[in-house]
Structure formats: structure tokens, C-alpha cells
Amino acid sequence: MMPEPFGDRLLAAFEARVPMCVGIDPHKQLLEAWGLRDDVAGLESFARTCIDAFADQVAVLKPQSAFFERHGAAGVAVLERTIAAARAAGALVILDAKRGDIGSTAAAYAEAYLERHSAMFCDALTVSPYLGFGSVRPFIDAAQRNGAGVFVLAETSNPEGPQVQRAAVAAGMTVAQHIVNEAAEVNTQFLDERNSTLGSVGVVIGGTIAPGGVDVRRLRGPILVPGFGAQGATVADLARLFPKECTVIASTSRDILSAGPERGELTQKAKTVGSRLAEQRGD
């Protein structure tokens, strides 16, 4: 029997939990702000606090793989435990790793994160399509087999992004729009076959981008929007950038994590931000 698709699980999580994504970003400055050492023990304590504060309340958690990988094999082991603990508590986990390669290498990355037998199996993975959208097909195939999702970088908020993402391709379409359209085609085919509501191929669009970059109305999948909160994106920006019918996953890290290290204060901050988002969507 095919597992329940990620898109359906995401909609259910948004109904039952705080409808947002909290990033788990244990960078050096934040560890120090929490009174923790910048080592594996500090990393483990930070991650455990985040799980205790958010995993039974928030719909989606998003560990940033790089901040775990920088501690070597022991840090990756903490990441494995963090993913497993978050999922065991009922949160969906999007691993922010931005993987991208071709052929067998892409398939190996997909096996590492999107096959259920993997120690780092997560509910969804961020991927880069800038070797061509076809290069992410192994990730999409693995995700669909395992009830997982992928979030494809489309339009990012870094200042260098528009040089590539807003460059024109055939018929004057931007590269970012081409990526969104390709994702939409995959979702349409999958949804028609499975009779589901929301596709499992999402896109990543920064919350602080200039308007007019991409049209997402045909996507039929979720939109992961980093940059909400401390990086400057607001509830008004979400309404400005995305039609109301879109499933938008607003993602924030520093804005909420700065309330730590006390578990109760972290949980309350997430609930407060989540309430603002729900009001904006009219839930």
C-alpha cells in the first residue's frame, strides 16, 4: 500500500497544530546566546530543547543540516536523533540541505534522506534544480514512493539570486518561473493519479523578494517561505506575494529561537507567531 502523501499530511498538520515552520539553526552565535558551548554537547542540548519546545505543537520543523555537519560525524548523529525525535512527536520535518547533483549521485542523496529505511529519513528535503530541473527527478521519485516531499529552490532572497533566477529563457519566461511550472506539472500528474488535494513537490520562495517574480497559481503544491520574522518578511508580505488559495509555509528561525533557552518561552513565542499567521489566512 502506498504511504500517505506528504501534501495530505501537511494539510492535516496545519489543521491540528501551529501552522508554521520553525527552523532549527544551531549556529555559533545562537549557541552562545543560550549559554551553550559551541561543541557537540552544546549542539545536542540546543536540539533537544527545540524538540521539547516545538515538536508536539508546531506543524513543521526545519533543521539546517550545515549547522550539524560542521561538528563532523558526531554532529550528523545529533541530526539523525533530532529528525527521529521530531517525527516521533508528530512534527513534520523538512531537512534544509539544498542537495543537488546528477544521475547516481542524486539518487544516492535521495536514498539518504527520502527512503524510509534511512537513518535520516525526513518528511521533505530542500533541493537545488540549478543543474536543470531534470536533475532533481531522483529526489521526486524517491519522495513519491515514500510519502515524502521535496522543496525546489525557485526564487531565493540572497542578492545574487536574481542573476540566475530572473534570467530569461524561452519565450521570455524567467528561470524561476520555469522551475515553478515544472513543479506544477509533476504535481498535476501525481494529483490526478492519486486523487489527493495538495501535491508533494513544493518550491522555495524567499519572503523578502521583490514582487512580480513568479506566478504560483498553478503550482498545486506547498510554498516554503524562509525569511519570516527577524530577516524582515512580515504577514503583509505573505499576503502581497502569494494568493490566498496557496498553501504557504512561513518559516522563521531567529525570531523564535531568540526567545530561548527556556522551553516555555520558546513554545509561547511559536504560538504567538502562529496565531498571527492563522489570522492572516482567515483560519
- So which residues are the catalytic ones? 98
Residues 43-64 have pLDDT tens digits of 999 999 999 999 999 999 999 9
Residues 36-47 have pLDDT tens digits of 999 999 999 999
Strand partners, 24: 63
Q: Residue 230 has what pLDDT?
A: 62
CA 232 to chain centre: 18
Determine the average pLDDT of the residues in 97-110.
Answer: 96
- Is the pLDDT assigned to residue 90 strictly greater than 60? yes
Residue 266: band (very low, low, confident or very high) from pLDDT cuts 50, 70, 90: very high
Q: Residue 151 has what pLDDT?
A: 98
Burial of 210 (0-12, 13-18, 19+ CB in 10 A): exposed
Domains of the chain, start order: 6-275 (3.20.20.70)
Strand partners, 125: 95, 150
User: Any idea which of 79-83, 136-140, 177-181, 191-195 has the lowest mean pLDDT?
Assistant: 191-195
- Is the pLDDT assigned to residue 158 strictly greater than 90? no
- Is the pLDDT assigned to residue 282 strictly greater than 80? no
% of the chain residues with pLDDT over 70: 96
Q: Which residue has the cell 554532529?
A: 75
Evaluated on CA atoms 135, 136, 141, 146, the torsion sign reads positive
